[in-house]
């Protein structure tokens, strides 16, 4: 039977979750909770079952997706868990590590599944990357470049010009979770930020150095002011609003070879004996993958877990907390100018 599920929050991302829920044969969309009356009317005009409060959600509902603004993730998810619903919370899991930890504890106490909406894991090439990284030997390092120039009109919205709305807190967390997913968790971060190109209060560029728990090192350049073909969305065509380039934006190096992502082009040994710089590496083209909607794949995986299945791809609550800790460690390093361990982030720090 399809899973009766409600979406809490009817903004842009909430609408996307509602659309994939309505499109899936595995989901029965029971309600979209949206307190703003004009927006609720707009959702109803799209044919969606929009309601004002959780009290109006049909009693048959058995699970929820939380897609409210980040400050409301904690109260919305807490109320959903209190109703006995498994919950998928749009990233980040919460605004602070304390709230994220409290959600994890509440879900565990209730015996309910709790996941974080880092949907990039659900792409087949992301899942394949995890196996490909394991095949290139001991982890040595990773280099990433995400640079997409946001249009000037993006900054007509006041909060887009304020601290907290830049590439560190709005874009980097996706990259952090992907690195955790197929390379290992981060132990320490150091960051430099600049607002030189736009001159706004929010950063437009950040350079990040990462030390992983497995001893590997990494670097990441993030910018929403620089025009380039290098970014996850440009490389794979996930977002129809971002031009496709097909270019790789991650390079991962191991003791036995290297991998480019998302193409999964791999370099490895060309013959027997030690791999060293006098010997050329063989280049292997990555496989072709059928494109899918990762939000649809994510919500259907979630439904599978609610039905009693197992899943090793979805971002769990603890995984979401780890991504949040690392993202906030980067933000704190940018403020202090010093390296910050992921375990050193204050429980109430919000990144600004």
Q: Is the dihedral of CA 175, 73, 157, 192 positive or negative?
A: negative
Span 25-51, pLDDT tens digits:
999 999 999 999 999 999 999 999 999
In contact, 34 and 10? CB cutoff 8 Å: yes
DSSP secondary structure letter of residue 147: E
Angle at 119 (CA atoms; ends 264, 139), nearest 5 degrees: 40
- Mean pLDDT for 61-73 is 96
Whether residue 346 is predicted with pLDDT greater than 90 in this model: the reply is yes
pLDDT bucket at 155, cuts 50 / 70 / 90: very high
DSSP secondary structure letter of residue 65: E
- Mean pLDDT for 6-21 is 97
**Distance from C-alpha of 112 to C-alpha of 107, rounded to nearest angstrom:** 5
- Mean pLDDT for 298-306 is 98
Res 291: pLDDT: 86
Q: In 3-state terms, the chain is what percent helix, strand and coil (to 5)? A: 35, 25, 40
Average pLDDT, the chain: 96
Cis peptide before 321 (omega within 30 of 0): no
**Distance from C-alpha of 73 to C-alpha of 337, rounded to nearest angstrom:** 30
pLDDT bucket at 296, cuts 50 / 70 / 90: very high
- Mean pLDDT for 177-204 is 96
- Mean pLDDT for 245-257 is 97
Structure tokens at 223: 């910018």
Res 240: pLDDT: 86
Percent of all residues in the chain with a pLDDT value above 90, rounded to a whole number: 96
Q: Which residues contact 292 (CB under 8 A, 6 or more apart)?
A: 122, 123, 124
Structure tokens at 93: 């899991």
- Mean pLDDT for 155-182 is 93
Span 72-128, pLDDT tens digits:
999 999 999 999 999 999 999 999 999 999 999 999 999 999 999 999 999 999 999
Res 290: pLDDT: 87
Q: Bridge-partner residues for 287, per DSSP?
A: none
The three-state secondary structure class of 150 is coil
Phi, psi of 23 (to 5 degrees): -85, -20
Cis peptide before 92 (omega within 30 of 0): yes
Strands 87-90 vs 63-66: parallel, antiparallel or unpaired: parallel
Sheet holding 266-268, edge to edge: 282-284, 266-268, 257-261, 250-254, 139-147, 217-223, 205-212, 186-194, 340-341
């Amino acid at each position: 039977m399809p899973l009766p599920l409600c979406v809490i929050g009817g903004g842009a991302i909430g609408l996307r979750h509602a659309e994939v829920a309505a499109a899936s044969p595995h989901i029965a969309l029971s309600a979209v909770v949206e307190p703003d009356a004009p927006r609720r009317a707009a959702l109803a005009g799209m044919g969606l079952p929009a309601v004002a409060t959780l009290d109006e959600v049909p009693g048959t509902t058995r699970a929820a997706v939380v897609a409210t603004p980040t400050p409301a993730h904690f109260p919305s998810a807490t109320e959903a868990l209190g109703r006995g619903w498994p919950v998928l919370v749009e990233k980040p899991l919460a605004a602070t590590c304390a709230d994220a930890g409290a959600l994890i504890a509440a879900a565990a106490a209730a015996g309910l599944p709790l996941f974080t909406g880092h949907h990039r894991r659900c792409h087949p090439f992301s899942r394949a990357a995890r196996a490909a990284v394991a095949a290139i030997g001991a982890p040595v390092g990773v280099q990433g470049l995400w640079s997409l120039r946001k249009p000037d009109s993006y900054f007509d919205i006041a909060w887009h010009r304020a601290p907290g709305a830049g590439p560190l807190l709005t874009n980097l967390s996706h990259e952090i979770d992907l690195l955790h997913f197929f390379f290992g968790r981060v132990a320490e971060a150091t960051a430099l930020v600049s607002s030189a190109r736009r001159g706004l209060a929010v950063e437009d560029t950040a350079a990040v150095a990462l030390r992983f728990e497995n001893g590997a090192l990494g670097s990441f350049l993030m910018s929403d002011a620089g025009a380039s073909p290098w970014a996850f969305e440009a490389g794979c065509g996930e977002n129809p609003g971002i031009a496709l380039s097909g270019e790789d934006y991650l390079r991962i190096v191991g003791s036995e070879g290297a991998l480019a992502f998302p193409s999964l082009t791999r370099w490895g040994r060309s013959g027997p004996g030690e791999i060293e710089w006098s010997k050329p590496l063989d280049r292997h083209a990555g496989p072709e993958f059928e494109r899918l909607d990762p939000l649809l794949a994510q919500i259907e995986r979630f439904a599978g877990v609610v039905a009693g299945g197992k899943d090793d791809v979805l971002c769990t609550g603890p995984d979401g907390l780890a991504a949040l800790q690392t993202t906030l460690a980067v933000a704190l390093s940018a403020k202090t100018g010093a390296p910050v361990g992921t375990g050193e982030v204050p429980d109430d720090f919000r990144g600004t």
